[in-house]
Structures are given as C-alpha cells and as structure tokens.
Amino acid sequence: MKTLLNNISAGIGFIRRLLLIAAVMFCVCHLQAQNNPYKINDQLYRMYLDAYNYRTKPEGIAKARAVYDRAVELGDRKAQCIALTIPVIYYAMTVDADKFEHAVKALQDKARATGYEQYYYYGVTSRVNMLINQHRVPDAFDYISRIEADADKHNSMYGRYTVLNSLGQLHLLNNNQSLAVRCYESALKIGEEYLRGQDMAPQYRKISECYENLYDYERMLSFGERGFALAKSPISKLRAVRGVCYAAFMLGRYDTFLKYYDSYRQLSGHSADPKSPSLHEREIAILKFIHDRKFDEAEAVINSLPSKGYAVHIHQLRAELSRFRGDNARYAQLLRELYRGRLKDSLYTFDYAGLGSRITNQILEMENQKLALDHQRLVNDHQRMELHHTNLKLANTRLSLTNADLELQRTRSDSKIMRYNYSNKQLEAARLRSSLEAQRARQRTGDIIIVAIVVMIVVVAVVLTIFIRFHSRIMRRLRAANAELTRSNQELVETKERAEAASHAKTTFINNMGDDIREPLLNVVRYASAIADAEKDTEKTNLEDNRLKVMENTNRMLAIVDNVLKKAQTAV
C-alpha cells in the first residue's frame, strides 16, 4: 500500500512538471506571436520587414525575391504569399500596369495553390486601387461585380469582405460617406465573425476616416482607438495613430493627443518630421506645433502641403491654427469656406455604377447651355430671365436625377447587405448546429470517460480489497506458523535440556557405579585369593577348585562389567 501511494505521488509530480513546461512553452510562443503577427518563420519575418521598408524602391523587388526563395527552402507557404505582395505594391506605386498585372496574377495563383485565400483577395483590392488610380472607375465597378458573383458562388467570406470594402471605397470617391460607413461596418462584422485571423485594424481605420469626413470626431476617435489597440504590427499601429491624434485634437482632448503622440514617437523612433514625405506625419507635426503654440512653424508646414486632394485638411488645419491664435474672424471665414466647399462637393457627386460617362456629358451640355444663356442675356433681359429659369429647372432636374440614382444605389446596397446578412445568418445557424453536435459528442465522450473512470475505480477498489484480505489471511497464517515454531523451539530446548540432564546423570551414575563395582570385585578377588592361600594346606583339591572358580567367575564378572561400562561410555 505504501509503494502504491509513492507511485501515485511520483506520477502527480511528473504531471505537474509537464504542465509547468507546457505553460512556459505557451508563454514563449505567445511572446513570439506578438513580435511576429503573421506567424511565419522568425527569420523570414525579419527579411520581410527589411523588404517592406524598400517597397518603393527597386531594391525591394530583389529583397522580396530573396524572402520568397528562402520561404520555398523552409517550406513556409504563407511567407511565400507575403513575399509576393511586395512587387504588387512597388508596381502599383510606379504605375507599371503590365508588370503590376503580372505580379497580381503570380500572387493570386500562389494564394490559390497554397490555400491562403486572403492573399488572393489582397490582389483583388490592389487591382481595384489600380483601376481607380487610372480613373477607370466603371471598370473597377464591373470588376467588383464579377468578384462578388464569384464570392457568392463559392460562399467565400473573404470575397464578401473584400467586395464590401471596395464598395465602401467607391462610395468614398462618390463622396457618399454614409454608404461608405455602412459598407465598411458590414465588412467589419463579417471579418470579426468569420475571419478571426484577419487584422481588423485597417478596417477600423477606414471607418474612422469616414467619420472624419462626416465631422463626427467622437466616433472617429472611438474607432481609431480600437483600431490602434487591435493592430498586430508596428506599421499598422503607425497608420492608426494619425486618426486618433487628429480626432483627439479636434475634440480638444489634448491629453489623449499627447498620449498617442508619445506612442507615435516610440513606434517610429523619432518625433513627427514636418518635412516628411508622409502627409500624415507632417499633419501630426502641425498639430504638435499648434499645441505647443509654435504658430509660425505650423503655418510654414501647412503652406508646404499639396493643395490637390488635400484642400479640406488644409482648411481645417488653418482654422485650428486661427482658433489657437485667437483670430476669430479668420476662424469663422475658414469654417464658412470649409462647409461651403463641402456643400459644393455634395452637389456634384455622381454614381460610379456605369453612369459616369452619361453624367459627364450632361455636365458639358449644361456648360453649353450656360454659355447660350449668357449670350441671350446680352441680347434681351427678358430672355435672360426666362433662360435663367430654364437653367434652374434643368439644374433641379439634374439634382433630381442624381438623387434618384443615389437612392437606387442605396437600395441596391441595402439589398446586398440584406443578402449578406441572410447568408451570415445561415452560416451562423450551420455553425451553431456544428457546435451543438460537437458539444454532444464531447458530452458523450465525457460520459464514456466518467464511466471508464468509475469502472477503473471499482476494479482498483476490488483488487485492493482482495489484496488486503489475502494479505490479512497470509499474515494470520504466518503469525500461527511463527507461534507454532516458537512452541516447537521451546519444546526442543526443554527436550535438549532434559536430555543433557539425563546424559549428565547417566554419566555420573556410570562413573560412580564403575568405581563402586570395581572396588568390591577387587576385594572379592583379593579375599578369595587370601582364602585360597590360607586353606591351601587343608584341602588342597577343593580349595584349589573353589579358588579357581572364584577367580574364573570374578574375572568373567569383571570382563562383563568392563564391557558394559565401555559400551555405556561409548553410547554416551
């Protein structure tokens, strides 16, 4: 029993050591996973970061090729796909359409072959961006429609996620922020439910930028902070910092602004550079100058910003600079220009669902009509007023058509979102059924294990009971045998003592008897000899005979006694 307890204690100690080793290994793996968000080989991840830093230079292509070749040697298929994203980025930035298409095809073929679906749709997103940069928005919309049909056919969550993101991007181009937000939030919901391994930080950043265009800085800050917290790599965190700093500054939460500005410095290794080629970094530097009341430096950086595509941000930054300077008149003027520009942009939005060319023609026609009306105004004031009225009607008609197109587009987006939601519900139901079946299977397995454990416990208890009873019976027999042996030993000791006493008494008796017998017999012999000598003269014949007989018998007695004594001594 003691040996069994010792074995059980040793087994428990061994299990504890195994659990400790497993915990240490888990902590090490978790720390490595935090430093390597793509979960590829650590050496390949360092090589990829080096290649990514050169993504805008020709050296980046060679470094990406080295990463790919090393990934092939190590058999890391995911790293192969990641390496192929560098050429896609480089040729997109250099606007080399042929090489870009070749790089995208290579990436998508490798993604299909290795099963990493997310990199196939990374190529889709890159191609959509390239079409937009080439001002081929209708082609981009047609391409997204084909990808949507393919995703529906294969029931691909990555496909739906990518299509919704691309639609949100097109809505942003169309300056329809609300539809863009709905598309991005639907994509975010799909990503969080079905694409658990996907980095959702860029999705939160896109939604944050949409709320920036809607001047909803509270939501911009909320989504920006969540994106920063979820970012898995330093690059993603740096991209998310800009939105958080901007929203916090616009809300007047300067402690939050300084907190994330310090995070930016820690991630980048330096303060925001006002001469950086990155507009976002220059924007953060401007906000820091304004906060530190370095107004001249801030204004110099604002004046260095490109006006094309960045006019709204320049107006907002100048307005904040005026507010900090206390120039309220300038501040009010900039705000009026800002909102008037926003209103003008909203009046000239158009639908990219195949209607771009038709609306462009309408705009040209309206310009021609405007010239004609100006000519008629010089001829006759009455005609000028009439034509001006006609122009207003046409403008209203155009706005009505634009609103109808936007409503149609909104309806189509609603229907797509509803269809996606329905598919999501079906998938959720299927997942719940699978989870229920798995739970039942685990429960059955648990019941079997419990029964097996109970049976084992019963068997062990029975075996222990039999062992204890058998051990008790053997011990009783051993105790009885020991008692019997003890009695036998005691009897043997007593018998030995009696035998030794008897032998000693016998020896004493024989020794005493030998002395007692020899002495009288010797006397008899001696007296018989004396008698025989005294009567020698009287009756010579009889006396001689008697003497001889006495002597003969005496000698015989001596011989017999001697013989008996010798045998007794020999036996003793």
CA 129-134-135 angle, to 5 degrees, is 95
| Contact between residue 194 and residue 157 where contact means Cβ atoms under 8 Å apart | yes
**Chain segment 343-365, per-residue pLDDT in tens:** 444 433 333 333 334 333 433 44
How deeply is 337 buried, as exposed, middle or buried, from its count of CB atoms within 10 A (0-12, 13-18, 19+)? Answer: middle
How many CA within 13 A on the CB side of residue 6? 3
Structure confidence at residue 225 (pLDDT): 92
Amino acid at 384: R
Task: Please give the pLDDT value at position 439.
Answer: 86
For the segment 221-253, what is each residue's pLDDT rounded down to a tens digit?
999 999 898 887 787 888 888 889 999 998 889
Rounded Cα gap, residues 38 and 44, in angstroms: 10
Supply the mean pLDDT for the chain: 78
For residue 377, what pLDDT band results from cuts at 50, 70 and 90?
low
Could you tell me which of 234, 184, 232, 176 has the C-alpha nearest to residue 205? Answer: 184
Task: For residue range 105-153, list pLDDT tens digits in order.
Answer: 999 999 989 988 888 988 998 988 888 888 888 888 888 888 888 888 8
Amino acid letter for position 66:
A
**Greater pLDDT, 402 or 341:** 402
In 3D space, the residue among 228, 230, 235 whose CA is nearest the CA of residue 260 turns out to be: 228
How far, CA to CA in Å, does 485 sit from each of 124, 358, 482, 489?
98, 122, 5, 6
- pLDDT tens, position by position, 506-546: 777 666 666 656 666 666 667 667 666 666 555 555 666 66
> Over the range 69-86, which residues count as b (16 or more CB within 10 Å of their CB) and which as e?
ebbeeeebbbbbbbbbbb
Q: What is the pLDDT of residue 221?
A: 92
- In this prediction the pTM is 0.51
User: What CA–CA distance (Å, rounded) separates 286 from 303?
Assistant: 11
Residue 260: predicted pLDDT: 92
Question: Which of the four pLDDT bands, split at 50, 70 and 90, describes residue 340?
Answer: low
Nearest to 122 by CA among 97, 147, 149, 98: 147
